[in-house]
Amino acid sequence: MDIKLGFGSIPKPQYVFVSKENDHCWYTLSDDGKQIPIYDRALTGVITEIEVNKIVETSQGKSEKTDLHILADKPYIIRSGSESYFSKGLLLSLDALSYEKLLQPLTIAVSPGEKAIVFCTIYHPVTYRSVGVSWDGHKEIDWQVLGKRVSLKINGTKTVTSDTKEILNNGITAEIRADFIAKTDTYLSQLNWTPQQGREYLQQKYGKKSRHHLSETELVDFVDYLQLQLTLSY
């Protein structure tokens, strides 16, 4: 993102609100509170943060919102109702993405549904492929748990970025790999997983029988997964 020198607007994030209207599905607000339609259907950028079930004061009173922070040509915050189809589709898509994919630019797209419904779809801007999600059994999903899992996945990247960048950019060293294997030993013990449970998970998730056979990205992903399970168990 280029920095413009001289006079200009106040450098603050631009809020984007989700709402199904006649010819658009999201909008911004002017300084005097008037809605400014956004006719483009997609926003591409890097996701930097997510706030789930955030209590916000609105003209109708307090309401729970989901705020997705994206860095593009400038910082944006996409705000949607926590119970909306947009927010739920967003969480399902983000949950399906790997840690590595979340570090890359993604495209958030809106599409109108019936009545006041707006759907969310995430695309890979290079391949143009959408993130496949299933709405089967969505009524039985614990959205609070899913939201917490996604929040930890995205916001937790701040604590492991340096290690992950070294692995992704320079390749994993024997020392780093040994350290990650040791971390999995600790986490598996704290989770009370048996060796058989560990092998079954690796076989199902990665198609491999041992942690020593995991690729660099898979090993980082496995460590992140175990960390997340420990956090959710507290």
Q: Give residue-wise pLDDT tens across range 13-70.
A: 999 999 999 999 999 999 888 999 999 999 999 999 999 999 998 877 899 999 999 9
Mean pLDDT for 116-141 is 90
pTM of the shown model: 0.67
Are residues 137 and 180 both part of a single domain?
A: no
| Of residues 18 and 179, more confidently modeled | 18
Percent of all residues in the chain with a pLDDT value above 70, rounded to a whole number: 89
Residues 198 and 128 in one domain: no
* Beta bridge pairs of residue 17: 27, 79
Kindly report the number of other CB atoms within 10 A of residue 57's CB atom: 8
**Domain co-membership, 82 together with 131:** yes
Higher pLDDT among residues 173 and 33, named by residue: 33
Nearest to 53 by CA among 32, 82, 93: 82
- For residue 170, the model assigns a pLDDT of 45
How many other C-beta atoms can be found within 10 angstroms of the C-beta atom of residue 182? 10
Between residues 1 and 161, the one the model is more confident about: 1
Task: Judge whether 31 lies within some domain.
Answer: yes
**Secondary structure (3-state) at 74:** coil
pLDDT at 81: 95
Asked, for residue 209, whether it belongs to a domain, the answer is: yes
Q: Is the pLDDT reported for residue 169 higher than 80?
A: no
Are the C-beta atoms of 96 and 133 separated by less than 8 Å? Answer: yes
Are 67 and 108 within one domain?
yes
Number of separate domains in the chain: 2
pLDDT band at 168 (very low <50, low <70, confident <90, very high): very low
Hey, which bits of 118-165 come out as E strands?
118-123
Question: Element (H or E) spanning 178, and its range?
Answer: helix 174-190
Count the Cβ atoms, other than its own, within 10 Å of residue 9.
9
**pLDDT band for position 175 (cuts 50, 70, 90):** low
Residue given tokens 């899913």 in the structure block: 146
More confident residue, 102 or 138: 102
> 212 versus 15: which is more confidently predicted?
15
Please state, rounded to an integer, the average pLDDT across all residues of the chain: 85
pLDDT of residue 122: 97
Say whether both 227 and 186 belong to one domain.
yes
Residue type, 157: T
The letter for the amino acid at 186 is T
Nearest to 99 by CA among 52, 42, 44, 163: 163
Domain that holds residue 197: 157-233
Query: What does the alpha-carbon distance between residue 228 and residue 206 come to, in Å, rounded to a whole number?
Result: 18
Asked if 28 and 137 sit in the same domain, the reply is yes
- At residue 123, the pLDDT reads 97
Residue 148 lies in a domain: no
